[in-house]
């Protein structure tokens, strides 16, 4: 038995010892997006647990088509966890299963390429620069318009549509910046270090900038954490646990050094990964306690804002609908705080979204590596957004913004996709909170 299979065997054994035992009840099946669409037991959480157990017991080769296909098709959305009466830690087992599967058979070239780029700073930076340069030409928006209504794209065309969706969306610029006085400094509540992220920093720097402004407007001091790096979420989900652990160690040291009260997250996939650093590094005697301490200070930006009110801005008279990112609502179990943030925007009408807690099909790199199934799931999400009657779709993760934004544009819709903090930031800009600030007080959105 390989070391990786040993790890999986160890995890399943812990479950067998009565802590987190699957009782085959099937409550998780209706919650699973892949089972709901494919109707195959092997594409359900329970079916995948059977496959894992078969590998651990030596009845199934982890390189087999069955194991590779059905474990590979899992989104890692973790919608199966909150509904499980036995508390099966499915996300943890999936990462171990992918680790075992990856040792038996190499992941696809695209998967390896994406992980290599995101896991190597000197590759990620130029890749993000190239993405921004291509985006600035306007070609992705043009190609996406030409593709609208055609068969679901894949490969480079899908990549271009996602790139188009990462750009600032029109729809909120009509109102001028408020001319009122800047908001007086709020009482200092706490210090925070913002995880700037790789995709977030590379393609959504406006979201990071908005995050800093809204946190400061609510009394948080945002401390720069220069030594941080990629959180490792993509690598952990793909089963490359060694790479994920290396990234986790770097971030633990970086945020420890910053000495902040909280780690602020505006990408829920990254937040979920960092909140589990204690478990990821549990077998490292030097790092485990430090990792657990850092993980305990991780907060989604919506949690930080909800904890203090948040301050209300000026009216944004629009209809918005909220899509809950899987790694916020299922993995981190954060559901109330985003609503508190939406409530802080006066005159914003919040409409319900059917299937708001179901995965959008983006799931890290899944939308690119599984364009058919990811596009199918994403298409259903786009349909729900259009049916909701909303003018704006609001969410909390860059991957979801790109997946849903690409889907909307390919459906010929101009509904903008915004991060939650962008909406509150706009409300504050209209209120004049940023008057005089070089980065946002002149009526120009960044």
Min CB(177)–ligand SF4 separation in Å? 42
Q: Which is nearer to ligand SF4, 202 or 399 (CB)?
A: 399
Task: Determine, following the binding rule CB under 6 A, whether residue 420 of this chain makes contact with ligand SF4.
Answer: no
Q: Which of 42, 56, 75, 373 binds ligand SF4 (CB under 6 A)?
A: 75
Q: Strand, helix or coil at 393?
A: strand
Task: Determine, following the binding rule CB under 6 A, whether residue 305 of this chain makes contact with ligand SF4.
Answer: no
Min CB(273)–ligand SF4 separation in Å? 15
Residues belonging to the chain = 446
Q: Which is nearer to ligand SF4, 68 or 218 (CB)?
A: 68
> Tokens representing 274?
């960092």
Per-position x/- string for 42-71, each x denoting binding to ligand SF4 as judged by CB under 6 A, each - no binding: ---xx-xx----------------------
Task: Determine, following the binding rule CB under 6 A, whether residue 76 of this chain makes contact with ligand SF4.
Answer: yes
> Tokens representing 41?
């037991």
Cβ within 8 Å of residue 3, ≥6 positions away: none
Q: Which is nearer to ligand SF4, 5 or 92 (CB)?
A: 92
Q: Which of residues 86-105 bind ligand SF4 (CB under 6 A)?
A: 86, 88, 90
Min CB(280)–ligand SF4 separation in Å? 17
> Tokens representing 364?
């890290």
Q: Which of residues 20-39 bind ligand SF4 (CB under 6 A)?
A: 22-28, 31-34
> Tokens representing 62?
């982890």
Stretch that binds ligand SF4, among 82-90, 186-194, 231-239, 414-422 (CB under 6 A): 82-90
Task: Please answer whether residues 303 and 275 qualify as being in contact, where contact means their C-beta atoms are separated by less than 8 angstroms.
Answer: no
Min CB(434)–ligand SF4 separation in Å? 40
Residue 57: Cβ within 10 Å count: 10
Min CB(113)–ligand SF4 separation in Å? 23
Min CB(197)–ligand SF4 separation in Å? 22
Task: Determine, following the binding rule CB under 6 A, whether residue 381 of this chain makes contact with ligand SF4.
Answer: no
Q: How far apart are CA 196 and CA 143, in angstroms?
A: 29
Task: Determine, following the binding rule CB under 6 A, whether residue 84 of this chain makes contact with ligand SF4.
Answer: yes
Task: Please answer whether residues 320 and 350 qualify as being in contact, where contact means their C-beta atoms are separated by less than 8 angstroms.
Answer: yes
Min CB(399)–ligand SF4 separation in Å? 15
Measured on CA atoms in the order 87, 89, 93, 94, is the torsion positive or negative? positive
Task: Determine, following the binding rule CB under 6 A, whether residue 378 of this chain makes contact with ligand SF4.
Answer: no
Q: Which is nearer to ligand SF4, 80 or 192 (CB)?
A: 80
Min CB(421)–ligand SF4 separation in Å? 26
Stretch that binds ligand SF4, among 54-62, 80-88, 100-108, 275-283 (CB under 6 A): 80-88
Distances in Å between the Cα of 100 and the Cα atoms of 13, 103, 106, 334 are 16, 5, 10, 30
Q: Which is nearer to ligand SF4, 77 or 194 (CB)?
A: 77
Please give the DSSP secondary-structure letter assigned to residue 41: G
DSSP 275-300: HTHHHHTTT-TTTHHHHHHHHTTEEE
> Tokens representing 44?
């359900």
Q: What are the CB-based long-range contacts (under 8 Å, 24+) for 253-258?
A: 253/227, 254/225, 254/226, 254/227, 254/228, 254/229, 255/193, 255/225, 255/228, 255/294, 255/297, 256/290, 256/294, 257/225, 257/227, 258/193, 258/223, 258/224, 258/225
Task: Determine, following the binding rule CB under 6 A, whether residue 366 of this chain makes contact with ligand SF4.
Answer: no
- Interface residues with ligand SF4 (CB under 6 A) are 22-28, 31-34, 45-46, 48-49, 74-80, 84, 86, 88, 90
């Amino acid at each position: 038995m390989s070391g990786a299979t040993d790890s999986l065997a160890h995890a399943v054994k812990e479950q067998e010892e009565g802590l987190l035992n699957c009782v085959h009840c099937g409550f998780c099946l209706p919650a699973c997006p892949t089972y709901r669409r494919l109707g195959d037991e092997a594409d359900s959480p329970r079916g995948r647990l059977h496959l894992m157990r078969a590998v651990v017991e030596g009845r199934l080769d982890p390189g087999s088509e069955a194991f590779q296909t059905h474990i590979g098709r899992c989104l890692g959305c973790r919608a199966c966890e909150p509904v499980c009466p036995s508390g099966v830690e499915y996300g943890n087992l999936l990462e171990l299963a992918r680790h075992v599967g990856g040792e038996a058979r190499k992941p696809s070239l695209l998967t390896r390429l994406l992980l290599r780029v995101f896991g190597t700073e000197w590759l990620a930076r130029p890749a993000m620069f190239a993405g921004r340069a291509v985006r600035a030409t306007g070609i992705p928006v043009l190609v996406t318009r030409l593709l609208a209504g055609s068969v679901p794209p894949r490969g480079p065309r899908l990549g271009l549509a996602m790139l188009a969706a990462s750009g600032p969306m029109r729809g909120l610029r009509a109102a001028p910046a408020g001319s009122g006085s800047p908001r007086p400094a709020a009482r200092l509540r706490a210090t925070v270090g913002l995880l700037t992220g790789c995709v977030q920093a590379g393609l959504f720097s406006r979201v990071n900038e908005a995050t800093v402004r809204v946190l400061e407007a609510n009394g948080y001091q945002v401390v720069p954490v220069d030594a941080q790096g990629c959180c490792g979420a993509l690598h952990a989900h793909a089963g490359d646990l060694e790479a994920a652990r290396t990234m986790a160690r770097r971030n633990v040291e970086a945020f420890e050094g910053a000495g902040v009260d909280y780690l602020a997250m505006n990408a829920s996939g990254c937040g979920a990964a960092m909140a589990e650093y204690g478990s990821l590094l549990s077998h490292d005697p030097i790092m485990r306690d430090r990792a657990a301490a850092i993980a305990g200070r991780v907060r989604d930006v919506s949690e930080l804002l909800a904890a203090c009110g948040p301050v209300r801005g000026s009216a944004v008279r629009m209809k918005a609908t909220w899509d809950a990112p899987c790694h916020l609502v299922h993995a981190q179990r954060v559901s109330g705080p985003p609503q508190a943030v939406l409530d802080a925007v006066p005159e914003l009408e919040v409409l319900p979204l059917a299937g708001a807690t179901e995965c959008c099909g983006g799931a890290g790199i899944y939308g690119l590596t599984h364009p058919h199934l990811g596009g199918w799931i994403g298409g259903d999400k786009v349909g729900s957004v259009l049916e909701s009657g909303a003018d704006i779709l609001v969410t909390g993760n860059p991957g979801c913004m790109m997946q849903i934004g690409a889907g909307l544009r390919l459906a010929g819709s101009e509904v903008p996709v915004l991060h939650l903090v962008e909406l509150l930031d706009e409300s504050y800009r209209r209120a004049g909170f940023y008057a005089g600030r070089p980065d946002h007080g002149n009526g120009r959105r960044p």
